[in-house]
């Protein structure tokens, strides 16, 4: 790839430029020192010149490195000789002692420059390590702050783009033989199709050989494989790090070529490798979470299926059996049923088909509500009207057991009349069904502050245990005391109530009073009523 060679050339040219700049500064510094010394030459002993030149040379060593300092030392040496040692303005030195001073100065300058530049390099290295640690800390801190699992990988890629000089970072997730892009940052980057294909191919090689591709120092591990794949004139641009988990290779983190070209620094390589480990952990965690969710969903589906099966086997089959028997009795050619028995058979068919109808509509309503296919059609509702409509549909003897107490300041609410009537009728019918026979049932309607409306339906009977107070609203749940009772129930009514109340942004709950369990529904007004 020509571009890589060009990048190399650019990098070399740049480091040469840095050196030249250092050199120029060293020379300028020495020239300035010489000028100052020249001005002060009458007040100073000529032997003390070294004391002025030495700090300048050391400063150059610290600032621009060893080579600039050496050049500075030599120039200082020559300047001292030329400007200050007899005979002045020649490089000739007549006094042997002066020669000695010059040589000692040169040696001292070079040795101290060496020490100073080494100290500087160590300080730089320490600072680089500190930077690295700080960078990693920053990266892992911002990652641990990321709560949503599907945001972690993009956030990690973004961190890497910000902290290194990679032009872009892509995290590829391998599922079977497919490569999914789990993250690509910055989001503005768009790669041509051909390059995407190339990235996938190199990722494949990185995974197959389990080798980091693109790092310096281990070229012999991967250069052959890449050359086999792409031909000798090709070279991958950027870094490819295979992502390991205990289950094997799950993907590749690819850092695009450096901004401004050149090789990645050791710090950047280290950063990429460390964050790749993070990425692998994140992917492993996501895969585990997905498996757990799937298992939980399967288990839930299983429980529901069991509940539905037992419901179908009992609650659906018994009315069907009753209908079938009654119908065949009526049809029997030699049937000699008298009028009362015929009436009974017909009544059984009528009652049992009503029961079936109710069951099927409850099941349908519940599934439509839970699937979000039955949104409340909200309109202004008068709750007393809702309750009256429910009572109107009951048998008169049952309806007369119900006492309605409505406060005078009852507001209109925004609600789906049909759905709220379903809630009221389920609660009232339950109360009639499960309360001690022929005891009165109270329905209380009242205003709840200025924001809502309360409907309270009091049952008379045994209290509901604490552990059941929540479960009673679950699908197919039947109260422990009723599981074997003769009272028919499907465990759908209260689940339906809860689904409707939730769709109305309301609350439904059960409390025990002195006389028995009491259901409370709290509905928001929905808008300011007149």
Specify whether the CB–CB gap between 499 and 429 falls below 8 A. no
Query: What is the token pair recorded at 315?
Result: 């609650």
Q: Which residues here bind other proteins, judged by CB under 8 A? A: 350, 353, 357, 361, 364-365, 368, 374, 377, 379-382, 384-385, 387-389, 391-392, 399, 404, 406, 412, 416-418, 421, 529-530
Specify whether the CB–CB gap between 447 and 404 falls below 8 A. no
By C-beta, is 21 or 360 nearer to other proteins? 360
By C-beta, is 307 or 356 nearer to other proteins? 356
By C-beta, is 179 or 374 nearer to other proteins? 374
Taking the complex as a whole, the smallest distance from the CB of residue 369 to other proteins amounts, in Å, to: 12
Tell me how far CA of residue 451 lies from CA of 136, 407, 514, 520, in angstroms.
Answer: 51, 15, 28, 16
Cα separation, 420 vs 504, whole angstroms: 9
Taking the complex as a whole, the smallest distance from the CB of residue 394 to other proteins amounts, in Å, to: 11
Q: Classify the phi-psi angles of 256: left when phi > 0, otherwise alpha if psi is within -120 to 50, otherwise beta.
A: beta
Taking the complex as a whole, the smallest distance from the CB of residue 308 to other proteins amounts, in Å, to: 21
Specify whether the CB–CB gap between 183 and 153 falls below 8 A. yes
By C-beta, is 79 or 402 nearer to other proteins? 402
> Distance from CA of residue 386 to its chain's centroid?
45
Taking the complex as a whole, the smallest distance from the CB of residue 245 to other proteins amounts, in Å, to: 49
Taking the complex as a whole, the smallest distance from the CB of residue 418 to other proteins amounts, in Å, to: 5
By C-beta, is 118 or 377 nearer to other proteins? 377
By C-beta, is 187 or 361 nearer to other proteins? 361
Taking the complex as a whole, the smallest distance from the CB of residue 379 to other proteins amounts, in Å, to: 5
Cα separation, 383 vs 373, whole angstroms: 24
By C-beta, is 162 or 389 nearer to other proteins? 389
Cα separation, 272 vs 96, whole angstroms: 60
By C-beta, is 1 or 360 nearer to other proteins? 360
Of the candidates 380, 364, 425, the one whose C-alpha atom is nearest the C-alpha of residue 523 is 380
Cβ count near 49 (within 10 Å): 24
Cβ count near 462 (within 10 Å): 14
Cβ count near 199 (within 10 Å): 22
Taking the complex as a whole, the smallest distance from the CB of residue 499 to other proteins amounts, in Å, to: 15
Taking the complex as a whole, the smallest distance from the CB of residue 412 to other proteins amounts, in Å, to: 6
Q: What is the DSSP string of 196-235?
A: HHHHHHHHHHHHHHT--BS-TT-HHHHHHHHHHHH-TT--
């Amino acid at each position: 790839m020509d571009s890589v060679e060009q990048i190399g050339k650019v990098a070399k040219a740049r480091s040469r430029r840095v050196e030249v700049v250092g050199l120029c500064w060293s020379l300028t510094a020495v020239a300035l020192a010489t000028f100052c010394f020249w001005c002060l030459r009458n007040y100073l002993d000529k032997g003390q010149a070294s004391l002025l030149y030495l700090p300048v040379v050391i400063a150059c060593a610290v600032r621009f490195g060893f080579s600039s300092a050496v050049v500075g030392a030599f120039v200082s040496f020559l300047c001292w000789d030329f400007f200050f040692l007899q005979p002045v303005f020649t490089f000739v030195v007549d006094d042997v002692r002066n020669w000695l001073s010059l040589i000692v100065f040169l040696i001292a300058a070079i040795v101290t420059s060496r020490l100073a530049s080494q100290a500087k390099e160590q300080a730089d290295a320490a600072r680089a390590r500190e930077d690295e640690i700080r960078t990693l800390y920053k990266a892992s801190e911002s990652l641990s702050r990321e709560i949503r699992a599907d945001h972690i990988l993009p956030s990690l890629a973004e961190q890497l783009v910000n902290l290194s000089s990679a032009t872009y970072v892509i995290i590829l997730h391998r599922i079977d033989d497919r490569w999914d892009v789990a993250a690509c940052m910055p989001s503005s980057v768009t790669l041509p199709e051909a390059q995407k294909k190339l990235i996938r191919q190199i990722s494949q090689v990185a995974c197959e050989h389990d080798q980091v591709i693109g790092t310096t120092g281990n070229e012999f591990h991967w250069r052959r494989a890449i050359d086999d794949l792409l031909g000798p004139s090709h070279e991958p641009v950027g870094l490819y790090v295979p992502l390991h988990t205990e289950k094997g290779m799950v993907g590749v983190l690819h850092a695009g070529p450096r901004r401004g070209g050149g090789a990645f620094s050791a710090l950047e390589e280290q950063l990429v490798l460390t964050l790749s480990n993070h990425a692998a952990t994140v992917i492993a965690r996501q895969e585990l979470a997905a498996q757990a969710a799937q298992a939980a969903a399967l288990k839930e589906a299983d429980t529901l299926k069991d509940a539905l099966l037992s419901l179908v086997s009992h609650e659906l089959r018994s009315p069907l059996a009753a209908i079938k028997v009654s119908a065949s009795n009526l049809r029997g050619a030699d049937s000699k049923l008298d009028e009362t028995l015929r009436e009974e058979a017909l009544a059984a068919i009528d009652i049992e088909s009503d029961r079936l109808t109710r069951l099927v509509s409850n099941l349908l309503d519940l599934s439509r509500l839970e699937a979000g296919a039955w949104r409340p059609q909200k309109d202004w509702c008068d709750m007393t009207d809702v309750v009256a409509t429910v009572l109107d549909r009951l048998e008169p003897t049952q309806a007369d057991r119900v006492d309605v107490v409505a406060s005078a300041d009852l507001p209109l609410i925004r609600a789906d009349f049909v759905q709220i009537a379903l809630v009221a009728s389920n609660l009232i019918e339950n109360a009639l069904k499960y309360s001690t026979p022929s005891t009165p049932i109270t329905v209380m309607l009242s205003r709840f502050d200025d924001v809502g409306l309360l409907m309270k339906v009091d049952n008379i009977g045994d209290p509901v245990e604490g552990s059941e107070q929540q479960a009673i609203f679950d699908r197919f749940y039947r109260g422990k005391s009723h599981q074997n009772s003769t009272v028919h129930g499907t465990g759908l009514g209260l689940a339906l109530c809860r689904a409707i109340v939730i769709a109305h942004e309301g609350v439904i709950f059960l409390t025990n009073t002195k006389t028995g369990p009491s259901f409370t529904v709290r509905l928001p007004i929905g808008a300011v009523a007149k």
